[in-house]
Chain A
Amino acid sequence: MEFKSISHLKSLLDNNKISVKEIAETYITKINEKKDLNIFIYFNEDKIHDQVKEIENLSNDKILKGIPIAVKDLFCTKNMPTTAASKILENFKPTYESFVTQKLIDQGSIFVGKTNLDEFAMGSATNTSFFGNTINPLSKNNNPLAPGGSSGGSAAAVAADLCLGATGTDTGGSIRQPASFCGVVGIKPTYGLCSRWGIAAFASSLDQAGVFSKNVTDASILLEEIAGHDQRDSTSSNVNIPSFSKNLNSDLNGKIVGIPKEYTIDGISDEINQVWEDAIKSLEKKGAKIKHITLPHTKYALPTYYIIAPAEASSNLARYDGVKYGFRAQDTKSLDDMYELTRSEGFGKEVKRRILIGTYVLSAGYYDAYYLKAQKVRKLIASDFIEVFSDCDFILTPTAPSAAFPLNEKQDDPIKMYLNDVFTVPASLAGIPGISIPYGHDKEGLPLGIQLLGKHYNEQEIFNAAFALEKDYE
């Protein structure tokens, strides 16, 4: 049984065509059938049945009553353990619920499980997880593909129809890139739109929660539920959250679309450029005007990001010391020895690499040359966007430089791996919203995504454009 959207399932529930219990059982069966994809870090049938008993008693006014949702295992959840895909948080049971997941619970959704990710969200292929790789459900024959990352489990859960929506977090592309690899919709809203309370921190000035779904309407429904001001996150914005789903409007007449010339880069396949070209033509056909723009500091976005993100990570991950929660190394001789061995055994290779880079760029004598310099370049990157948005409504680019790549592709060059984020990182540094929607395929039949970027707090604009483009493939 397949439910095509949140509103489809909700109307079946409202008309008593299906019960919350039947929905839960349907999805439990689906998840059990797809266990070999290693999408979930935590899946427990009893916990799902416990939720059903509570949800059954809720009023049908609850927007997400009975809607199956998968939660990236970076969000603290009181009823399910939270690992951040790291050995260092093995067996961690949060004593509180994240803001975002609490909002989803309040609206009656069923949490089907906690999804796999790159350890502490550091990666682009869900291959740095302590709990093993997730396999992209679109893989064919004997060629397992990566689902992208870091929110690869959440994107894969939606693509494999194991839920109707999933939470993700995006620091440099961790929602948009896996959405592109798995052929689903993924949105990273404006920095500050959703509270970071209860999300294991990676790079606090960049981390932002968002959602995955099968279509644009569902993404707009989910985002309006999880957005909102929260006193417990000092960077959470107190802005009015529009009803994105009710306001959806596919009329693009007179809209001005920016096409940045810096996003045409060497080594990108013709297929990706073709999909971009197709989307541009479609927008023109729908009445939008194309404007060629320039974002001159784009090429500096990746190196800027790979200073700022590790610096903030090294500070955020200092809390994992083996004292208060999580893993602790055994047979240690002194307190320092205990810290060093706990962190050495508890963190994986990529996390250690980033902590050490971050420690270096923040260390005495290097702070100005690296971290402060990067923050200044970040300002120029953000200013580029603000300037072009004075005369365009949104920007259209590809989401990722390739389709999903094979899982066993050798990833021994960190810089090559970091290039996965080349189209997504600039928007993260600028804090602007971005959505990726599937738009066409490569010659192997794998989905390719396009990305729409909007002004700060103007998610509606990119939802509308995505809603219009989505119709090309209905």
Chain B
Amino acid sequence: MKLDTNTINKIAKLARIKLSEEEAKDLLKDMNSILDWVEQLNEVNTDSIEPLANISSSILPQRKDESRDVNSSDEILQNSPDKLEGYFAVPKVVE
């Protein structure tokens, strides 16, 4: 058992996902079994092995850093669940 309910709730807070008690219980079981299962990677000796992040990094071209004038703010704002005078609106942050 790697995780307990406290750790699950702490991770959920970090990920900004609210969990019900029931959900936390279910996830605890699943995540512990997944974490036990991935533990087998410790059998592999990876001393002096470079981590692989991107398989194509060796041949990627660079582009010029040029600005482009794309103004689609009206279109973008249309997707927002709440907007006010050209801004995204969120619940009040300061009293």
Contacts and interface: CB of A to CB of B under 8 A. Distances in A.
Contact of B44 (A93, A300, A306, A323): A300
Contact of B78 (A93, A336, A352): A93
Nearest to A332: B91
Nearest to A95: B75
B51 A237 contact: no
Given A95-B72, A325-B80, A376-B46, A205 B30 contact: no
Contact of B11 (A307, A360, A414, A456): A360
A326 B81 CA distance: 7
Interface in A296-351: 297, 299-300, 303-304, 306-307, 314, 318, 321-328, 332-341, 343-344, 347, 349
Contact of A380 (B49, B60, B78, B93): B49
Contacts of A359: 11, 14-15
A325 B79 contact: yes
A403 B37 CA distance: 25
Contacts of A328: 81-82
Contact of A304 (B41, B49, B80): B41
A342 to B, nearest CB: 8
B59 A237 contact: yes
Interface residues of B, number: 53
Interface residues of A, number: 71
Main secondary structure of the interface of A (DSSP, over half): helix
Given A231-B63, A373-B41, A95 B49 contact: no
B63 A191 contact: no
B50 A376 contact: yes
A446 interface: no
A382 B15 contact: no
A106 B62 CA distance: 26
Interface of B: 3, 7-8, 11-12, 14-19, 23, 26-27, 30-31, 33-35, 37-44, 46, 49-56, 59-61, 63, 72, 75-76, 78-82, 88, 90-93
